[in-house]
Structures are given as structure tokens and as C-alpha cells.
Amino acid sequence: MAKSISRQNVGLETVEPIGDRVLIRKDEDRKITKVGIHLPDKIEIPTITGRIVTVSTVIENDPDYPIQQYDKVLFNPKHSIPVDFEGDNRLFVVPIEDVVAIFRRDA
């Protein structure tokens, strides 16, 4: 007798920051210094740059914060909350006051 497998509709799970927070995808940790020295796998240089994945509606509607999706930012990871959402765990919810700079290019 064949078993029938019922599949439930699995919706796409998203993370939306609430309040004065943003969701950041942290950049990869560097294993080579700027001068070309290769570091052992056990040594990690803390990377505090990343890309904005999404911003809360509070931040989006506040003209004092000129930050938007896909901006590259420098942030203080001290109060960051890791999001256990993907295997390499590079997503973090960060309070907006911990975003200290936005990288901009002249057009």
C-alpha cells in the first residue's frame, strides 16, 4: 500500500525589524589582511561592515535617518542580535544608534 504524502504550503519566512532597528547582513570575515598576510582559520578579524537588508517602518519614515535598503554601513556589533535564520548566521538586528556610518559614492 502506497503512502500519500501531504505537503503543507510553506510560506516564505521574513524578518522585519521593529522600532528603531535595522536588519543587516554582515560582510564576510576577512582571512587576508590589507597587506596580504594570510591569517590562520582560528583567528578572526571582527567585521563590522554590512549591507542593510531592511529597515523598520519607524526608521523608513524618519527624515533624520537617511538610510535605506542595500546601503553599505559601518556598525557597532555590541548590541546586535543575531538572527538564527540561515546556516552561516550573518543576519543581525541592530539598533539604529549602533549604525555609525553609511558608505556613499559620488555620482
Which pLDDT tens digit goes with each residue over 13-53?
Answer: 788 899 999 999 998 766 666 666 666 666 555 668 999 99
Could you tell me if residue 6 is inside a domain?
no
- CA dist 97 and 15 (Å) reads 20
Q: Is residue 4 part of a domain?
A: no
∠60-93-101 over CA atoms, to 5°? Answer: 65
In a domain, residue 15? The reply is: no
Kindly state the helix (H) or strand (E) to which residue 58 belongs, with its residue range.
helix 57-60
Asked if the structure places residue 34 within a domain, the reply is: yes
Domain range enclosing 91:
21-103
Range 28-37 contact pairs with CB under 8 angstroms and sequence separation of 24 or more: 28/90
Write the CATH number for 79.
Answer: 2.30.33.40
Total domains in the chain come to 1
Q: Is 94 among the domain residues?
A: yes
**Cβ-count burial 16-26 (b if 16+ within 10 Å, e if not):** ebeeebbbbeb
pLDDT value of position 13: 77
Q: pLDDT (tens digit, 9 = 90+) per residue, 59-93? A: 999 999 999 999 999 999 889 998 876 666 689 99
